[in-house]
A and B are shown apart, each in its own frame.
Chain A
């Protein structure tokens, strides 16, 4: 049969061509990933700042020059060094004479704790809901979409205010309230990502080799949508940190005398016209932290996006 002779001819040619290809060497995936990471300035800045603040938060007792709770009514409202203050209190003291730098350092713990745990709780809730909706569709999808709409119709700050007013403000309450209120974006993003991935043939292929539903979701779908998840985690972490600051500023978040950046802004606001640094220092720190987290999220998305992989 002449047809089959030609076919075998092609097969042989393909094989020889393949051995030639073996000599071509390119960078390994690991090398390419490293190149993308170190070529991304935003990501590097985000990692550096967030890493620094994490270290500060972890080693707060070692770094803080004073006890953040210790009042010294004789040394109230001392200006920071750059405004003519002394090195005894590098960032000055507040209206109760507490060391501002120490309070700032301990405040990093509160912000990161709330950001991390609120993002974790809302991430678990939102991802479970979103993936279930995207994968199973039908009634599950309808129910989840309804819940997302209900959640989006609730103003977060007002609901948080109401709950905190009933249960009293404390670190745990703020974390739980934010965790149970910020899952909407996780659910929306995970639902659409799952919808996109679940119609790919490799998902059917995994079912065709006998994978169970949980295995298909966990080992076929999740790895392909986890980069979207990481971006939402960072966004929601920043969101939670800002909301905590807002709640504390309104007096319904973390309660004094706990050092929280939002609380520091709130306590400084009466003196804002005369001593603007009281508001500016915690405000700028908050801004830098949120900026770093957002840059990190953006960078991670750029680096892990499949279109940049090849």
Chain B
């Protein structure tokens, strides 16, 4: 296998607060190959967005970023200075934000904003940048692209704006796109279109993508790899098929029980839920963070938690139990 585009080892993010240090993200590991889609799933506040901002180095200076390894396409991001990061951002790594309503600047036309990244990073003329902008707008399914260039963001609907954001991210043909809940703010009919578009384009252009979402339905449809995040840790990672077919970590199993499956979930039957709330991450965090809500929790969950590889490989989870279940308990059919 070739060198991964992005390689992250033991990424930690600490936020100093009045009450002590908040360990928002603790020890994240993953590799991303070219053209691959990694979905990071988790509930609100689990550190998904922080992780993506940390890769782009867009966190506020207050937040402390540490990592054993953070290598993007041969560049060590932990050592890259502000100038080097600026050269990478927008050119080699791009980002798509959650809110299409606020992620475009209301003071400029769509065309200006599309061309900005290209003009900033490449030695191209305005005409060339314009041609590329039109080409990409057509590619993301916007009709009358030429005319759209002179429009302002408020003249576009949410779905159109998110298409523009996607086109913007693709302007410089980046190696990596980070999409932070790109469909959350859109209505359901548009969500599927935008997602399909994003996935098709990244496959076609061989761009690696980190898709951050809390929608497991989305993940099942588009992901190559899945990373399940809980309270700042990746509790389970693996190929999408393995994670969905044989979820090992109790949290992943709990999440999957929460989604109704057409044809399988009976009308009137109760959907699963995970009781309890995410624990506070201020101060020293030890043992399994999920133990307060876990059905399988035992005394051993307070201690060191091993990072296990499941029997078939390429699928890891963090649990004291060898199979993700307490010994001697059978899954009810």
Contacts and interface: CB of A to CB of B under 8 A. Distances in A.
Interface of A: 3-4, 6-8, 10-11, 14-15, 18-19, 22, 29, 200-202, 204-212, 220, 223-224, 306, 309-310
B144 interface: yes
A22 B103 contact: no
A11 B193 contact: yes
Nearest to A1: B221
Given A7-B193, A220-B105, A224-B107, A210 B141 contact: no
Contacts of B117: 209-210
Interface in B203-226: 221
A310 B101 CA distance: 14
Contact of A224 (B87, B88, B106, B144): B106
Interface residues of B, number: 42
B196 A310 contact: no
Contacts of A14: 141, 159, 190, 193
B97 interface: yes
B320 to A, nearest CB: 37
Most chain-B CB neighbours within 10 Å: which of A11, A202, A204? Answer: A202
Contacts of B190: 14
Contacts of A7: 192-193, 196
B108 A29 contact: no
Contacts of A309: 154
Contacts of B244: none
B257 interface: no
Contacts of B102: 200-202
A19 B143 contact: yes
Contacts of A208: 56, 58, 89-90, 94-95
Nearest to B172: A209
A202 B196 contact: no
A211 B193 contact: no
Given A22-B144, A201-B99, A202-B105, A210 B89 contact: yes
Contacts of B196: 4, 7-8, 11
Interface of B: 56, 58, 85-91, 94-95, 97-99, 102-108, 116-117, 120-121, 141-144, 147, 152, 154, 159, 165, 168, 189-190, 192-193, 196-197, 221
B122 to A, nearest CB: 11
A3 B193 CA distance: 11
B106 A209 contact: no
A29 B106 CA distance: 13
28 contacts: A3-B192, A3-B221, A4-B221, A7-B192, A7-B193, A11-B193, A11-B196, A14-B159, A14-B190, A15-B143, A19-B143, A22-B143, A22-B144, A201-B97, A201-B99, A202-B102, A205-B105, A205-B168, A208-B58, A208-B89, A209-B168, A210-B88, A210-B120, A211-B116, A212-B86, A223-B105, A224-B106, A309-B154
B105 A210 contact: no
Most chain-A CB neighbours within 10 Å: which of B99, B104, B192? Answer: B192
B87 A210 contact: yes
A201 B87 CA distance: 20
A220 B193 CA distance: 30
Given A22-B147, A205-B105, 7 more contacts: A3-B192, A6-B192, A201-B98, A201-B99, A205-B165, A208-B56, A209-B117
Contacts of B120: 209-211
B6 to A, nearest CB: 16
A306 B141 contact: no
Given A3-B221, A202-B104, A209-B120, A15 B99 contact: no
A210 B121 contact: yes
Nearest to A224: B107
Most chain-B CB neighbours within 10 Å: which of A4, A7, A309? Answer: A7
Contacts of A209: 89-90, 94, 116-117, 120, 168
A223 B87 contact: no
Contact of B91 (A18, A210, A224, A306): A210
- Which 7 residue pairs of A and B lie closest in terms of their CB atoms, listed nearest first? A209-B90, A223-B107, A210-B90, A201-B103, A210-B89, A208-B95, A209-B117
A211 B86 contact: yes
Nearest to A227: B107
Nearest to B120: A210
Contacts of B107: 223-224
Contacts of A18: 142-144
Most chain-A CB neighbours within 10 Å: which of B86, B88, B147, B159? Answer: B86
Contacts of A223: 105, 107-108
A22 B147 CA distance: 10
B148 to A, nearest CB: 10
Contacts of B165: 205
Nearest to B85: A210
A207 B168 CA distance: 13
A210 B87 CA distance: 6
A205 B144 contact: no
B141 A204 contact: no
B106 A306 contact: yes
Given A29-B152, A201-B99, A210-B121, A10 B193 contact: yes
Nearest to A215: B120
Contacts of B88: 210
